[in-house]
Amino acid sequence: MKRTITHLADGRELIYFDRRDDADRGAVDQRDLPPRPAASELRYDPLTEEWIAVAGHRQGRTFLPPASECPLCPSTPGNLTEVPSSDYDVVVFENRFPSFSAQPGEHREIGGLSEVRPGIGRCEVVCFTSEHDSSFSRLSPEQVELVMEAWVDRTAELSATPGVEQVFCFENRGAEIGITLAHPHGQIYAYPYVTPRTRLTLGAAGRHRERTGGNLFADVLAAEREAGVRVVGSNEHWTAFVPAAARWPVEVHLYPHRQVPDLVALEAEERAAFGPLYTDVLRRLDGLFGVPMPYIAAWHQAPVSTGRDLSYAHMELFSIRRAPDKLKYLAGSESAMGAFVNDVSPEGTAHLLRSVVTN
């Protein structure tokens, strides 16, 4: 793998990941870009003990442009994009409209009980392929391995960045999910705090260890593999299953068989084995209702400086589609109370996904 670092016209970092050592990445960003926005604000909610990012500059981000104006495609004479090169394998760059950044910000008083501080961190975009009309499910095993290497690289580097407490790699796919760009891509958030979901699960894992001496995530994986009824697929190093208490109509978790805190700790054969199983699951999702499945794919990794012995890196993949023409909306119970009601049996979902014929 060849790794090339360059910078865009406004100073943002861009990194090419190539399979070929002779890839030429000397193209320069010719655009006239405005200055980068200041860091967002972080406001503390004393009722939930959570940090909320307020990033008003994100209101102006690019929204569903036509393919001919896609900012994630390689640059052409008629369309200068975020990627100066005329082609690429995988590319990562700092988000132009970030929720968190290292740009200067300031502490200020707003009244009330909320503490306010700058949203220091980093947000990156990961372009999985230069092919605008492709999808992650259609990537070759070699391309998925290159994406994995990019995730590993960024997790390691961002975890070493001062002020970063957690690194989150994810993909939003589909207009129903709320994407703003259709090009196959994901994002990476380097948070300046440990996220609420991670604090919750690590708290549960700590209590489980006190009761049993075991690792909660490892025990869940072992129980699902033994039960079998919710397993969608597996190979030597990974298992994909629908969790017994799935919140979403379609939800699949993918676990490595060996407990590791983050993607960096995966061995080469484990990284290589992820792609074939994951893309098979994605094709099953697309085949479930005969339409492209909108989804969120979320990597759960250990925080940088706490709970690493309790953590177990894994992917959570879920969709809001509950039928070919129906979506699950987060209405009163879910949105106001955080109390989920799933209209679909997890065992039924697993059975249907296993029954899908993939190419």
Q: What residues act catalytically?
A: 185
CA torsion 62-68-73-78 (nearest 10°) is: -100
Cα distance between residue 140 and residue 144, in whole Å = 6
DSSP 83: B
Q: Chain-centre distance of CA 193, in angstroms? A: 17
Q: Chain-centre distance of CA 345, in angstroms? A: 26
Q: The tokens of 339 are what?
A: 């109390």
DSSP 296: E
Q: What is the CA radius of gyration of the chain?
A: 21
Q: Are the CB atoms for 261 and 301 separated by under 8 Å?
A: yes
Q: Chain-centre distance of CA 305, in angstroms? A: 20
Grouping H, G, I as helix, E, B as strand and the rest as coil, residue 172 is: strand
- 269: alpha, beta or left? (left if phi > 0; alpha if psi -120 to 50): alpha
Residues 6+ apart with CB under 8 A from 258: 237, 267, 270
CA torsion 335-337-342-343 (nearest 10°) is: -70
